[in-house]
Amino acid sequence: MILHIDMDAFFASIEQAINPRLKEKPLIVGSRDNRMHTVVCAASYEAKAYGIDSGMSSRDALQLCPNLEFVPAQQGRYIWISEQIFRMLEGYGFSLAYTSIDEFQMDINDSVEPQKFARQIQERIYADFHITASVGIAKNWLLAKLASKLNKPNGIAVLTDTNLTEILDLVAVGKICGVGKKTGQILSDLGVKTCLDLYLKSADFLEQNLGKYGFNLYLSLHSQERFEPAEEESRPKSVGHSYTLPRATQTPGFIRAWVRLLSEMVAQRLRAQNLLADTVHLWLNGPEMGNLGAQKAFHEGSNDGYQIYQRSLKIMAKIGPKMPKVRALGVTCSGLLPNRYLPLFEEQKRREDLLKTIDKINGRFGEGSIYPGIIGLTKRMPRI
């Protein structure tokens, strides 16, 4: 059997778990800081009760619920908690795969009773992270994903050969993953209204009307093959961050401050992927100089923001004593290698412990919750 573990209102639930003031209140998580000019990334179940859901403009959401609470998205926080949940699930020893940041699939065997095991996972997630998950159990990944939607929130649904047709007959075909509005309309015109209607159609029928996608849909619905976790993605070739300033400036301290900030952001991403970079590329753009980019390779790799900043300054020194006007800038690291090195000296160990603590705080409370003091930037670090 396949267990599909789907977190309930993931982003919103995390914010409610962190901030007790938001518990049991209608809440939306916005993609931008401005509550009146953003899109709903996630809505709490209290907000969903007003008809609010992801993809809706925040202005429309506030019209439906004027007392709506608002929190800007903290991507680093959600990724960190997702990774912690994945590691916790890995501990059970079954094949495990991500399907999205808030969904996981586990291939279990006969050594566990599925429903009891699903409840154990739910209790563990709530105990460790104070958020809930719904679990679907079925013979393949597509049906398990469908089942996870049936008893939200904090529910468990099992699709077996005994109850499969009865349950599928009650569920609209649009609930199947991959059946969007366009495909749903095509199926509706063909008389396919429910998931059972779709399940009973032949492979030839679906291929004839939906092409290759229809044939793959049939295979996914009827498959009983075990899944293999997706192979780990190959290492990225580079990691970078850039930013466009509100207006061009040639104040050296201000420009260096932004290089420091971007270096730190790149370093955090390198550490999150356990990578070192031995090459730094600095890019500057301005009305007088156009695009100016230069890079330098170093003997040792690094994922320390301060070291990447110092290396960027060496590249910047090539520009000359007079700083031209800069409107946009970026820091990119390449020459990436896995970090397999352990700190040898006490100072290195202290520095690594400090970086781990900073990453943990930023992962839990959002990118930029803590960052180095930077001369030249007097305001709080903006979200980039």
More confident residue, 381 or 369: 369
Compute the distance between CA of residue 144 and CA of residue 158 in angstroms, rounded to an integer.
8
> Mind listing the pLDDT tens digit for each residue in 111-123?
889 999 999 999 9
Active-site pick, 90, 103, 207, 352: 103
Specify whether the CB–CB gap between 170 and 193 falls below 8 A.
Answer: no
**Cα distance between residue 182 and residue 277, in whole Å:** 45
Q: How much is the pLDDT for 379?
A: 47
Q: Is the pLDDT of residue 301 over 80?
A: yes
**pLDDT digit string (tens) for 198-215?**
888 888 888 888 888 888
Residue of 19 and 371 predicted with greater confidence = 19
**The tokens 């009760």 sit on which residue?**
49
Residue 287: Cβ-neighbour burial (10 angstroms; 0-12, 13-18, 19+):
exposed
Distance CA 35, CA 28 (A): 9
Q: What is the pLDDT of residue 233?
A: 47
pLDDT of 370 reads 61
Average pLDDT, the chain: 83
Which has the closest alpha carbon to 44: 18, 70, 62, 64?
70
Range 238-365 has CATH code 3.30.1490.100:
yes
Domain boundaries, the chain: 8-77, 87-125+134-222, 238-365
Distance of alpha carbon 73 from alpha carbon 88, whole angstroms = 24
Other CB atoms within a 10 A radius of the CB of residue 52 amount to 23
Above 80 in pLDDT, residue 219? yes
The sheet with strand 27-30 has its strands ordered as 40-43, 27-30, 69-72
pLDDT tens for each residue of 268-289: 888 888 888 989 999 888 887 7
The tokens 């900073």 sit on which residue?
358
The pLDDT tens digits for 138-190 are: 988 889 999 999 999 999 999 988 998 899 999 888 888 878 778 888 888 88
Look up the pTM and report it: 0.59
The residue type of 373 is G
Closest CA to 264 of 378, 376, 373: 373
**pLDDT tens per residue across span 34-74:** 778 788 888 999 999 999 988 888 899 999 999 999 998 88
Give the CATH number of domain 87-125+134-222. 1.10.150.20
Compute the distance between CA of residue 172 and CA of residue 181 in angstroms, rounded to an integer.
Answer: 12
Query: 8-77 domain in CATH 3.40.1170.60?
Result: yes
State the pLDDT at residue 348. 60
pLDDT per residue as tens digits for the range 324-343? 888 888 899 988 888 755 54
For this structure, is 264 an active site residue?
no
Whether the pLDDT of residue 375 is over 60: the answer is: no
51's CB contacts (< 8 A; 6+ apart) are 64
Measure the CA–CA gap between 109 and 241, rounded to whole angstroms. Answer: 44
Give ∠ CA 73-71-244 in degrees, rounded to 5. 50
Q: Other C-beta atoms within 10 Å of 110: how many?
A: 7
Distances (CA, A) of 135 to 101, 145, 364: 15, 8, 25
Inter-CA distances, 117 with 3, 111, 210, 253, Å: 9, 10, 37, 57
